[in-house]
């Protein structure tokens, strides 16, 4: 088994799909991870939640199994969110899972479970921290507090990347309030990379680093740059949201994944476990459906390239070599048209259920016929084998990238 790709970014480019996990004391209140801040809960009162946080159903092997069954290759867990509570046995604060009712180093268990399942290990670390008086002073303009807080932050991050073996992704958040210079981000990341040379770091400590991280939207980074859209499964909150009735359908999630793939990016799909650590039922049922769809359509999603030349009314596309995959977001019935393709189509096939299709080519119109009248499944995919790499007559294109900044 080759575990160390020669290029440290290869695994990420090929992964396509990961699970984001927001889990902390806020999960107990069930109103999302911003609850302490938005409801102005006093810190001392909030901290009492540690006595309730018992992680009774926390089973990272199950998280790993669910992620794998869904088609995901990596996870990113909130080791510390903005509330400041640490899921690991942090050395520079007492506000930790080891000193909660759980009494365990939950991050350590997560890391081992993921490695055993051959999944990549991502760790989220919030730079901003509502539990630290120095952070509050720092962001309201006290320069001495800022210096102290940043010193503490460097020590915390060092702790995190030193004591758990290989970490594949470091995912910062909430840099707001201080500048990159104040965070000493360049120095911080150089130090992280000296501990973990292969690590991928996101762009949220106000430096470019390895990953662009569009949030709740699918925006491709410029070619050659790794990117990952992070999106919630329910409407807005990332932490467990017991009261949100608005969940995305499996179709909406599959479409997000297809749109990410069409721009050669990844989808980091969020799950907010219940306070006990259990993945909620509504997330499980959706992940199971996505997993079924993924397993039947993965050839259209994995190791694919961006189809650089055009966009289509039916939905997104991906390609690999001489193969073009069409995701039929809009299902027009028995046929659809790929406009402007200059290749000859050698064969066409619906991926699920596997059905070969007829193709008629008339000048710049490639007409695919023979599909079922009703859409077979929530996001059907048609595979076209071409006589060369996808090529288009672009004479009627008008620089769509400027017109459609989000991927179609
Ligand atoms: C937003 C939220 C934060 C969440 C993050 C994930 O910044 O405020 O709570 O962790 O998105 O990208």
Position of tokens 């039916």?
314
In sequence order, which ranges of 323-370 are alpha helices (DSSP H)?
none
Q: What is the pLDDT of residue 394?
A: 77
- Residue 32 Cα: closest atom of ligand 1: 9
What's the gap in Å between 61 CA and the centre of ligand 1?
25
Can you tell me the distance from the alpha carbon of 226 to that of 220, in angstroms, rounded to the nearest whole number?
9
Quick check: 311 and 362 in contact, CB under 8 A? no
Q: Which residues pair with 324 in a beta bridge?
A: 319, 384
**DSSP assignments along 81-105, one per residue:** -TT--BSS--TT-S-BGGGSTT-S-
User: Is beta strand 381-386 parallel, antiparallel or unpaired with respect to 323-327?
Assistant: antiparallel
Cis peptide bond prior to 353, omega within 30° of 0 = yes
Ligand 1 atom closest to the CA of 124, numbered from 1 = 10
- Predicted pLDDT at 4: 44
What local confidence, expressed as pLDDT, does residue 198 receive? 97
The SS3 assignment for 159 reads: helix
Q: How far is the CA of 312 from the centre of ligand 1 (A)?
A: 32
- Counting from 1 in the atom list of ligand 1, the atom nearest the Cα of 239 is 9
Alpha carbon of residue 106 to chain centroid: 21
Q: Residue 18 CB: number of other CB atoms within 10 A?
A: 23
- Whole-number pLDDT of residue 294: 98
Give the C-alpha separation, 102 to 219, whole Å: 39
Atom 3 in ligand 1: residue holding the nearest Cα:
238
Q: Which residues approach ligand 1 with their CB closer than 6 A?
A: 22, 33, 173, 215, 230, 238
- Report how far ligand 1's centroid is from the alpha carbon of 21 (Å): 11
Q: What is the pLDDT of residue 408?
A: 61
Residues of the chain with pLDDT under 70: 1-6, 309, 398-408
Output the pLDDT for position 307.
85
- Please report the pLDDT score of residue 1 as a whole number: 34
């Amino acid at each position: 088994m080759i575990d160390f790709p020669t290029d440290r970014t290869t695994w990420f480019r090929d992964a396509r799909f990961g699970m984001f996990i927001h889990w902390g004391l806020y999960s107990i209140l069930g109103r999302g991870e911003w609850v302490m801040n938005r409801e102005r809960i006093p810190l001392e009162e909030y901290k009492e939640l540690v006595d309730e946080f018992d992680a009774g159903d926390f089973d990272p092997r199950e998280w790993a199994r669910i992620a794998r069954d869904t088609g995901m290759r990596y996870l990113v867990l909130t080791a510390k969110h903005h509330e400041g509570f640490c899921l690991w046995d942090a050395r520079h604060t007492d506000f930790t899972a080891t000193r909660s009712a759980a009494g365990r180093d939950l991050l350590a268990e997560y890391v081992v479970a993921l490695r055993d399942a051959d999944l990549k290990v991502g760790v989220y670390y919030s730079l901003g921290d509502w539990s630290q008086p120095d952070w509050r002073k720092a962001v309201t303009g006290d320069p001495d507090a800022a210096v102290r807080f940043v010193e503490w932050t460097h020590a915390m991050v060092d702790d995190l990347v030193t004591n758990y073996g290989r970490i594949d992704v470091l995912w910062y958040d909430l840099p707001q309030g201080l500048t990159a210079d104040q965070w000493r981000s360049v120095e911080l990341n150089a130090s992280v990379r000296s501990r973990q040379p292969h690590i991928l770091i996101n762009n949220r400590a106000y430096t470019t680093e390895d990953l662009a991280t569009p949030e709740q939207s699918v925006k491709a980074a410029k070619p050659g740059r790794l990117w990952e859209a992070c999106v919630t499964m329910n409407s807005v909150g990332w932490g467990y949201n017991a009261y949100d009735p608005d969940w995305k359908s499996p179709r909406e999630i599959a479409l997000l994944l297809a749109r990410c793939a069409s721009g050669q990016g990844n989808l980091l799909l969020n799950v907010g476990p219940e306070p006990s650590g259990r993945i909620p039922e509504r997330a499980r049922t959706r992940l199971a459906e996505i997993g079924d769809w993924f397993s039947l359509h993965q050839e259209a999603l994995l190791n694919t390239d961006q189809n650089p030349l055009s966009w289509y009314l039916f939905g997104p596309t991906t390609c690999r070599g001489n193969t073009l995959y069409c995701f039929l977001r809009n299902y027009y019935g028995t046929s659809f048209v790929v406009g402007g393709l200059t290749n000859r189509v050698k064969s066409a096939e619906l991926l699920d259920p596997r059905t070969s299709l007829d193709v008629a080519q008339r000048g710049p119109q490639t007409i695919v016929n023979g599909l079922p009248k009703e859409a077979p499944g929530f996001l059907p995919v048609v595979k076209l084998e071409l006589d060369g790499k996808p090529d288009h007559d672009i004479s009627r294109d008008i620089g769509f990238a400027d017109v459609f900044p989000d991927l179609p």
